[in-house]
Amino acid sequence: MKFLLDTNTLIWWLGNDATLSQTAKKIIANPDNLIFVSAASAWEIAIKKQIGKLNVPDDLETQIKQKDFQALPIDISHAAYIEKLPLHHKDPFDRIIIAQAICENMKILTRDKKFDIYQVGVIES
C-alpha cells in the first residue's frame, strides 16, 4: 500500500518520538508499504527551521533517503486539485498534502483531525 506522511508524522518518525502511534510505526516499518514524503513537508520544515520554530537536523534529505522513503514532488495536477477542495483547512502545506494523497490514491498518516473532513484516507499517527 501507499502512504503519505504528514509533516509532523515525518518529524516524529525521524526523531524516534514516542508521540507517534503504534499503528503508524507498524505501517512505516512494514517493508511491503511504500512510504512517501511530500516536497511540501520538506518546504514546510525548511521555512519553520529558518524562522526558529523548529529544531531538526540539517540532513533531512539524507535521512529520508536512508529510510527508503519515496520523494513525492508537487506537480501541476496536485496544485490544480486544491481548487476542488473545500476550504475546511487553510494551511497551504496540509492542503497540498491532501491534494497529493487524493490524486495519487494514498492514505495519509496524520494526527490532524481536519484531514478527516476531506475525501481522503486517514490513519491516525
SS (H, E, C) the chain: CEEEECHHHHHHHHCCCCCCCHHHHHHHHCCCCEEEEEHHHHHHHHHHHHCCCCCCCCCHHHHHHHCCCEEECCCHHHHHHHHHCCCCCCCHHHHHHHHHHHHHCCEEEECCHHHHHCCCCEEEC
Q: How many domains does the chain have?
A: 1
pLDDT tens digit string along 40-99?
A: 999 999 999 999 999 887 899 999 999 999 999 999 999 999 999 998 878 999 999 999
Closest C-alpha to 38, from 103, 101, 125: 101
Range of the structural domain that residue 18 is part of: 2-124
Q: What is the CATH number of the domain that holds 85?
A: 3.40.50.1010
Share of the chain above pLDDT 70, in %: 100
All 3 cell numbers of residue 52?
526558529
